[in-house]
Copies of this chain bind each other. A is one copy, B any other.
Amino acid sequence: MTANTLVHSKLVCVALNDKSQLTALEGTFNEAPYKKPPTQPVLYYKPRNTWNVDGAEVEWAKDFDGSDVTAMAVGASLGVVIGRETCRVSQAEALDYVRGYTIVSDFSLPEENYFRPDIKGKCLDTSAPVGPEIVPADTIANPDALTVTIRVNEEQKSAFALADMQRSVAELISTISWIMTLQPGEIIAVGFAGDRVPVAQGDRVEATIEGVGTLTNTLGGA
CB < 8 Å: which of B12, B115, B181 contacts A125? B181
Residue pairs across A and B with Cβ atoms less than 8 A apart, 17 shown, are A1-B183, A10-B48, A12-B47, A32-B33, A33-B113, A38-B116, A40-B120, A42-B117, A49-B180, A49-B183, A62-B178, A64-B175, A66-B88, A115-B115, A117-B117, A125-B180, A125-B181
List 14 additional contacts besides A9-B48, A33-B33, A119-B179; criterion CB under 8 Å.
A1-B181, A1-B183, A32-B32, A33-B115, A38-B116, A42-B116, A42-B117, A44-B117, A48-B183, A64-B178, A87-B125, A115-B115, A125-B180, A125-B181
- With the chains together, A46 CA to B183 CA distance in Å? 15
Each complex incorporates copies of this chain amounting to: 2
Indicate if the CB atoms of A45 and B47 lie closer than 8 Å. Answer: yes
Instruction: Evaluate whether A43 and B116 lie within 8 angstroms (CB atoms) in the complex, with A32-B31, A125-B180 already known.
Output: no
Interface set of A (CB-CB < 8 Å, partner B): 1, 9-10, 12, 31-34, 38, 40, 42-45, 47-50, 62, 64, 66, 87-88, 113, 115-117, 119-120, 123-125, 175, 178-183, 186
Q: Using Cβ atoms and an 8 Å threshold, which residues of chain B touch A88? A: 62, 66
The smallest C-beta distance from A199 to any residue of chain B, in angstroms, reads 20
- With the chains together, A48 CA to B82 CA distance in Å? 14
Q: Using Cβ atoms and an 8 Å threshold, which residues of chain B touch A87? A: 125
